[in-house]
Structure 1
C-alpha cells in the first residue's frame, strides 16, 4: 500500500470536487479553445531548460536531469468538469427503494425472460442428446428463485452445493428445499445459457455467449447512475479450470470503471483469452470504458501500472480527461535517464520529477520506490505522510514529504476498497463451471452491489447484510418466515438400547448423556432412535425431552 488508511493526507487542490455546470454549444466551443494546454515560461533566465521541455521524453532522456525538491513545478491547467448529467443516481425520488426493485434495474424481467428463452432452447438440445436431468421449461419467476438461492448460498456458507439439501438432523438447512428441489437446481445450472444456442457462433467474437447480457448490464449501469468526478479503472481476474497439460493461464478479466466515492460500477467489459494479452490491449481497455458521450469531460481517472503509458496519458488529456497512474520503468517512452536519480541511499521521502508537457513523472522514495505520473497534479504541493522509522533501536513515527500524485492516487484507491467488500464471490462453489456461467455469476455480483449503493445514495437505511437478506426473501417470494421444523421429528423416538443385544430391556444399560454433564452417573435403557444417544425417560427426569429442546433452540 502506498498509504496507510490511518495516514491523514490532505487532498490536493487540483483534485477537489468542482461545481458542475452545463454549457451551451457556444460555451463548449470556447472551452475547447481555452483548455488547450500551453507551456508557461518558468523563468526568463532558464531558456535552456524551457527548450529541452519541448523535446519528447524518449529523445531528451540523456540531456534532461531529474528535478529535485528544490525545483518548483508549475500548476497544470485544470480541466473544467462538465458531466453529461448531474452526478449521482438517475432515479426519481418516488421510485421504490426495496432491494428487489433496485436489483431489477439491472436484471429486469425482459433480461431474465431472454435468459429463460435461451436456457429452454439449450435444454431442448440437451434432451435430444439424452441429458442427465429431466426438464420442464423454466419460467421468469422460477429463474428469479434460482438467483435468490445463489445469493442465499453466500449468506449461509456450506461446504458444497449438495449440503444445502442434506437430510441430517444436525447439519441440514430447511430453506432451499422449500424453494426448489436439488435436482431442479442442478438441471437449471446444467442448462443455463446466456445466448441463443442455435445461433451461428462462427463470427470470430470470443465473447459471443455473454455479449447480449453484458450489453444489457453495461447499459443499465450507465443509465441509472452518473459518476462523480474521480473514477478508478480496476480489474478482476477469474482463472478458468486449467488442465495439467496446459501450462498457459486461461481465464477472463473483468475491467470496471468505478466511482471512487462509493464503489459504484459505472461500466464493465470482459476480456477472455490466454495471457499475456496482445500489445496495446491496456490502452484500448481504458479508452473503451471512458465514453465521452456518456460521461462528459473533466473526469479524473486513476489507474494502476498495467494501463499507464505516456501515450494514454496525453491522449486522455486531449479528450479532456485528467489521469493519474503508477507506471513501470521498463515500459517504452518513460524517463530512463541516470542524471540525478534516486538511489538506495536516498532518504525516505525524497522525490524527483520531470515534466513533459501536461504530464509530470514523479519518483518517490518510500519502501519500495514509487513511480507515478499525472496530468492532474503538480509534483509537490506540501503534503506529508506518517511512516515508521527506526531510531536508536526503536521504531518511531516520522512525517515525510509526499508528492501530490502519490497522495491523491493512494486516497482514491483506498476509497474503492469498500467496493471489494460488497462483492460476494459466489463462484466459490462452482470451480468446474463453464466460463460464461462464471461471467453470469459475476454480473449478479455487480448488480447486487450496485443495487445496494443506489439504495444508500437514495437515503436507504438498510445495512448491506440486511439488504441482501431482504433481496433473497423477495427473489424467492418469501412473504413469511419459513415455518420452524418440529422440535422432535417422527424418527426421534425413545427405544430400548438393548434391541440388538437382548429381549430384556434391562440389558445393555448405559449412562445418560445429559446426567453425565451434571456429574451424575445414571444408567438408562432408553436411547433416541435417530440420535443414538442414551437418555433418561422418567416422570421426574425426562432427559429425552430436554435433549431435543436444546437441539431445536440451537437451530439444528
Structure 2
C-alpha cells in the first residue's frame, strides 16, 4: 500500500551509497573509509556550524495573497464562491448531467426529468450547503411532512423528487467520452479519473488563479472516507480516516488548498522512477506557477536527501521530518542521542547543503533542512517529574523544530475547516464523494479568502457557519433572514469597452492613450466605460471578460 518507503529499507550501514548520498560518496566504500568521513560523528549544539546557507531570495511569480478582482474591498461570500463555481463549471455540470439523465432514461430507468439550467444547478448546490449547516440524518428528512421535525424551507425551493433526480444523475464528464474511456479499461491508456477529471481540473485551475501562497507551504495527505470497493483506496493506519480516497495536497500556512492530486495507485503515479513521494512533491511544487524562494515542509513519508537537493536546485528551500534507513540519511552512532539523553539535547550533522538535526523531547525528533541554522537560541517550556511532583523547566529547541511546528500544519488546518459543516454524505459511488469534496474545497477556500481579505480591511470576519449561511442564501436566491426571493437588481449601465485615448493625436496614442490593466498590469488601449479602469482586450489575454464575469 502507500505506507512504503520508496527509497529506504536498505539498512543504515551504506548511507553514502546511491542517489542523494554524502558528498563525495562512492558506490562502494570500505568500512575504514566510512569511519574517516567527517559525517560519522554527531556534533553538539555548542560546536560552530560553518555551513549555514544564506537566506533564500523570495521571488514569487505573483504578489502573495488574494488576487484581483477579489483583492478590492470586502467581497461577499457569494462573490468569492462564484470564482470557483463560475460559468464554465456550471455549464460543465449542466451539460454532463442532462446527457447522463437522457442516457439513463434510454436505459429504462424510471424518473421524471426536465433540462437543468445553471440557475437550478446553483440552487442544488445551495441546498447541499444548507444541509451541511442544518444537518439531518437522511436527505429525505428535509421534505418530511406532518411531524414536529418538519423543515419547511427546502420544499419551497425544490421538490424532493427533483432534488433526488439531480442527485442521482449528476455527472462531471461527458457520458459519451466516459463510455469510450471504459472500453480502454485494463490497458495503459485507461484513465481511472475520467469520470471526475474535467471538474477536478477546473477547480484546481481556480484554486491556483484566485490566490497565491506565501513563502511557507506544505505538502501532505488528506483522506476522504468512502465505502465503495475500488483499487485506488489505500489503507492509512496512522490517519483518523483509515480507508478512503487519498488526496495529495499543497497548502499555504493559513490552510488554503493551493493544489491537489488524487492517488490512483502507486504503479500509476511514478512515471519518473524516483519514487511516489518524490514525484508527488515535484508535481505539486511547480516553479512555473509559484516562482522561487518558497520553503516546502513535508513529513517523513516525503523527506529524502534526493528530493531536498532537487528542490534546492529548483530554487526552493525544504524542511521535514525523516525516517531512519532512507538512502542518504546518516546513521552513525558516534555521539548520537540515546534513551538516557536529557530532554533538550541537540545533535546535528551537516552534509553539504543538508542539515540533519536530532532533538530529544518526550522522544527523539529527527529533521532535515536546507535553509535553517542548527540553533538560534529558541527555548520552550516543558513539565518534568520530580520528587515533589512536576516542575516546569526551560529547554532549548532547534530552529528546524520551531519552524516546522509553525508552518507544517497547513493541510491539517484545511482539514479541520473542511470538517466543520462538511458537505460529505454517504453515497454508493466514489465520483459523488469526489464531487462533494471538491465542493468542500471551494467553500473552505472561499472562507479562507474571506478571512484574509477581512483582516486586510481591518474588519471582523464572519464565522464559518455565518459564512455558509450567507453563501447558501445567495445561491438559493433568497434573503437570509426572511427566506423570501431577493428583489431584482436595479437597472445598470452596460459595461462596454471603449478606447482609452481621448483627444490625443495619432502619434501620442501609443503612450499617452494607454492605461495599466487592472488585472495583469500591462499597458492597454482599452478601458471599461462604466468602471473606468484599464483592461486588456486581446484574444490571448481577455482581462475585460475575466474582470466582468462576476459583476
Cα displacement string for residues 377-407 of structure 1 (whole angstroms, at most 9, x for unaligned residues): 1122211111111011412211111111111
Shift of 1:207: 1.6
Shift of 1:238: 2.0
Identify which of 189, 210, 218 aligns with 1:232: 218
Stretch of structure 1 that moved more, 270-279 or 178-187: 270-279
Equivalence for 2:521: none
Gaps of 5+ in 1: 1-51, 485-556
Stretch of structure 1 that moved more, 109-118 or 87-96: 87-96
Equivalence for 1:288: 283
Once residues 433 and 442 of structure 1 are traced to their aligned partners in structure 2, the CA distance between those partners, rounded to angstroms, is: 15
Distance of aligned partners of 1:236 and 1:275 in 2 relative to their CA distance in 1, 3 Å threshold: farther
Once residues 383 and 57 of structure 1 are traced to their aligned partners in structure 2, the CA distance between those partners, rounded to angstroms, is: 38
Q: How does 1:223-302 map to 2 (within 5 A)?
A: 223-242=209-228, 249=235, 251-260=244-253, 262-273=254-265, 280-302=275-297
Shift of 1:458: 2.5
Stretch of structure 1 that moved more, 61-70 or 463-472: 61-70
Identify which of 62, 67, 70 aligns with 2:46: 70
* Contact 2:133 2:421 (C-alpha < 8 Å) held by counterparts: no
Equivalence for 2:346: 351
Matched pairs, number: 432
* Contact 2:318 2:370 (C-alpha < 8 Å) held by counterparts: yes
Once residues 131 and 182 of structure 1 are traced to their aligned partners in structure 2, the CA distance between those partners, rounded to angstroms, is: 18
Once residues 67 and 26 of structure 2 are traced to their aligned partners in structure 1, the CA distance between those partners, rounded to angstroms, is: 43
Equivalence for 1:372: 367
1:164 is paired with a residue whose SS is: helix
* Contact 1:379 1:405 (C-alpha < 8 Å) held by counterparts: yes
Determine if the alignment matches structure 1 residue 131 to structure 2 residue 109. Answer: yes
Once residues 130 and 276 of structure 1 are traced to their aligned partners in structure 2, the CA distance between those partners, rounded to angstroms, is: 36
Once residues 403 and 214 of structure 2 are traced to their aligned partners in structure 1, the CA distance between those partners, rounded to angstroms, is: 16
Gaps of 5+ in 2: 1-20, 236-242, 485-551
Distance of aligned partners of 1:132 and 1:482 in 2 relative to their CA distance in 1, 3 Å threshold: farther
* Contact 2:97 2:169 (C-alpha < 8 Å) held by counterparts: yes
Shift of 1:364: 1.1
* Contact 1:76 1:377 (C-alpha < 8 Å) held by counterparts: yes
Distance of aligned partners of 1:277 and 1:370 in 2 relative to their CA distance in 1, 3 Å threshold: farther
Q: How does 1:53-452 map to 2 (within 5 A)?
A: 54-56=23-25, 62=35, 63=37, 64-74=40-50, 75-92=52-69, 93-94=71-72, 97-199=75-177, 200-201=180-181, 202=184, 203-242=189-228, 249=235, 251-260=244-253, 262-273=254-265, 280-414=275-409, 417-424=412-419, 430-452=425-447
Shift of 1:332: 2.6
Cα displacement string for residues 84-130 of structure 1 (whole angstroms, at most 9, x for unaligned residues): 11111112354770111110101102211111101111111110122
Distance of aligned partners of 1:104 and 1:247 in 2 relative to their CA distance in 1, 3 Å threshold: closer
Distance of aligned partners of 1:483 and 1:112 in 2 relative to their CA distance in 1, 3 Å threshold: closer
Once residues 45 and 420 of structure 2 are traced to their aligned partners in structure 1, the CA distance between those partners, rounded to angstroms, is: 45
* Contact 1:57 1:334 (C-alpha < 8 Å) held by counterparts: no
Distance of aligned partners of 1:123 and 1:57 in 2 relative to their CA distance in 1, 3 Å threshold: farther
Shift of 1:69: 2.4
Once residues 119 and 189 of structure 1 are traced to their aligned partners in structure 2, the CA distance between those partners, rounded to angstroms, is: 10
Shift of 1:368: 2.1
* Contact 1:372 1:406 (C-alpha < 8 Å) held by counterparts: yes
> What RMSD, in angstroms, separates the aligned Cα atoms of the two structures?
2.8
Once residues 169 and 147 of structure 2 are traced to their aligned partners in structure 1, the CA distance between those partners, rounded to angstroms, is: 32
Distance of aligned partners of 1:129 and 1:310 in 2 relative to their CA distance in 1, 3 Å threshold: same
Q: How does 1:19-38 map to 2 (within 5 A)?
A: none
2:260 is paired with a residue whose SS is: strand
Shift of 1:133: 2.8
2:301 is paired with a residue whose SS is: coil
Stretch of structure 1 that moved more, 87-96 or 347-356: 87-96
Once residues 82 and 303 of structure 2 are traced to their aligned partners in structure 1, the CA distance between those partners, rounded to angstroms, is: 36
Shift of 1:183: 1.6
TM-score by length of 2: 0.73
TM-score by length of 1: 0.72
Once residues 429 and 416 of structure 1 are traced to their aligned partners in structure 2, the CA distance between those partners, rounded to angstroms, is: 18
Bigger Rg, which one: 1
Shift of 1:176: 1.4
Distance of aligned partners of 1:429 and 1:462 in 2 relative to their CA distance in 1, 3 Å threshold: closer
Stretch of structure 1 that moved more, 343-352 or 333-342: 333-342
Equivalence for 1:506: none
Once residues 61 and 276 of structure 1 are traced to their aligned partners in structure 2, the CA distance between those partners, rounded to angstroms, is: 38
Cα displacement string for residues 382-440 of structure 1 (whole angstroms, at most 9, x for unaligned residues): 11111111011412211111111111101113566543332147777632331121111
Once residues 97 and 248 of structure 1 are traced to their aligned partners in structure 2, the CA distance between those partners, rounded to angstroms, is: 40
* Contact 2:345 2:359 (C-alpha < 8 Å) held by counterparts: yes
Shift of 1:355: 0.9
* Contact 2:305 2:328 (C-alpha < 8 Å) held by counterparts: yes
Shift of 1:277: 7.9
2:319 is paired with a residue whose SS is: strand
